[in-house]
Structure formats: structure tokens, C-alpha cells
Amino acid sequence: AQSVTQLGSHVSVSEGALVLLRCNYSSSVPPYLFWYVQYPNQGLQLLLKYTSAATLVKGINGFEAEFKKSETSFHLTKPSAHMSDAAEYFCAVSALTGTASKLTFGTGTRLQVTL
Amino acid sequence: NAGVTQTPKFQVLKTGQSMTLQCAQDMNHEYMSWYRQDPGMGLRLIHYSVGAGITDQGEVPNGYNVSRSTTEDFPLRLLSAAPSQTSVYFCASSYLAGARETQYFGPGTRLLVL
């Protein structure tokens, strides 16, 4: 079984401030981890993913995440927030079960960026 | 490439009506899936398919049917709509069914059941 916990359903930061969105996972098999972003009234778009190659993963739009097995975490960061980063962010864990993988999502964190 | 397309964008149904949500992809992806998104619950897997003719249930399959007669299309059928099925539905696809594969999402169908 696998699960994802995203701490904080809403996060507000000032433009130019550090963005930190938290994600902890639980998985009975080695996990693959994803961060997706959803802009209003749109589908989900991949930001980055961890597939066991490197623990620090760089994604689009200046975001990165670090896989920490000892802490079962995969927090998303960005050094300097832009207004355009306002969106909902989903952490997800994927594991192969039977014939196919299943992607299990967290409940999401809505990021607000203020002037 | 159009990617993953979904129709309709928005639909209102009355309780007990049936309808089909359409999903198509033009990327020759083997794996396709349907999710529903509800406030505070993230996305939950309804059904998925690892190839034409092969489908399986996800986390919340009750009240929904799927079939996969072609690689490109993966329609989701609501047999008898209930207010609890009011949600936003997303179709997704990936090249293979492996755990490291990126899933590509459609724009969603917003469904309201009265």
C-alpha cells in the first residue's frame, strides 16, 4: 500500500520569498515520486519526478525537490516565488502493483503568492 | 500532437441519467486512466487500462464502467448518475504502465449531478 501526506492545504508566500511545499510518503516498495502543478481550470502538468537516479531532482520553472529516504520525504522548493507560481500542487507516489503502476495523490497544497 | 483531449468540458445531469465522458490521446500511449478530483481529497483513480481490450478497477470504481476498444480512446460511462458523482474528471495517459512513467493529463470534465 502507498500513501502521500501533504502538510498544509494552503501556503502563502510573498513574491521573491522561498517556496517550501511539504510531502511525506509511505510505500511498501521502492517509490517513484512526482510533483504535479494544476493552474485554475486546467489539467495537471508534471513539475518533476524522482526515479531513483539522483536524490535532488530539478524540474521546470525553477522548482526542485529532494528525496530523503530516512525521512520518507520529497519536499518541493523554489528559491524565489513569482506571481505566476500561484496554483495547486500535488505530490504523488507511484508503485508497480500487479500488471500496472498506480499513482496515489496527496490532497494538494494551494500556493498563494502575494506582492 | 493534441495530447490528451476530453469532451465535454462541462455537463449537467439529473439523478438517474447516464452519460459517457470521452477521452482520446494521440501519443500512442499504452496506459490510460480516469481520476476524479474532489475538494480536499486530491485525485482518486477510478479505472485504468494497460492496453486495448484490458481494463481494471482503481480505488473508486463503483458506478462507472470503462472499455478500451482502441489504443486511442478510453471512454468512461456513468450508468445511473448520482449527486455523489458530482466532481471533476480527468483522463490521463502514459507510454507504458511502469511506475516511473509520467502520466499526461487532459483538461478535465466538470460534472454536476442534480
pLDDT in tens, A46-71: 999 998 878 999 999 999 999 999 99
Which one-letter amino acid corresponds to residue B56?
D
Summarised one tens digit per residue, pLDDT across range B85-99 is: 999 999 999 998 788
In this prediction, residue A99 carries a pLDDT of 67
**B40/A107 Cβ within 8 A:** yes
In this prediction, residue A44 carries a pLDDT of 93
Going by DSSP bridges, is the β-strand pair A64-68/A73-78 parallel, antiparallel, or unpaired? antiparallel
Q: How far is CA A65 from the centre of its chain?
A: 8
Radius of gyration of chain A measured on its C-alpha atoms = 14
Q: How far is B17 from chain A (nearest CA, A)?
A: 25
**A45/B43 Cβ within 8 A:** no
Using 50, 70 and 90 to split pLDDT, how confident is the model at A102? confident
- Strands (DSSP E) contained in chain A are 2-5, 10-14, 19-21, 24-27, 32-38, 44-50, 56-58, 64-68, 73-78, 87-97, 100-105, 109-114
Q: Would the pLDDT of A42 be above 80?
A: yes
B82 touches chain A (CB under 8 A): no
- Could you give the maximum distance between any two Cα atoms of chain B, in Å? 40
Low-confidence ranges of chain B (pLDDT < 70): none
In this prediction, residue B40 carries a pLDDT of 86
In this prediction, residue A22 carries a pLDDT of 98
In this prediction, residue A100 carries a pLDDT of 73
> Closest by alpha carbon to A19, among A47, A42, A44?
A47
Using 50, 70 and 90 to split pLDDT, how confident is the model at A27? confident
CA distance A41 to A62: 23
> Closest by alpha carbon to B74, among B27, B14, B34?
B34
Of B31, B43, B90, the CB nearest to A100: B31
Lowest mean pLDDT, pick from A79-88, A92-101, B46-55, B99-108 = A92-101
In sequence order, what are the beta bridge partners of B10? Answer: B110
Q: Would the pLDDT of A98 be above 70?
A: no
**A9/B100 Cβ within 8 A:** no
Neighbours of B3 (CB within 10 A): 15
Measured CB to CB, residues of chain A less than 8 Å from chain B are 4, 9, 32, 34, 36, 41-46, 49, 51, 90, 94-96, 98-108
Show Cβ contacts of residue A89 under 8 Å, excluding neighbours closer than 6 positions.
A6, A21, A35, A36, A37, A38, A47, A76, A108, A109, A110, A111
Going by DSSP bridges, is the β-strand pair A73-78/A19-21 parallel, antiparallel, or unpaired? antiparallel
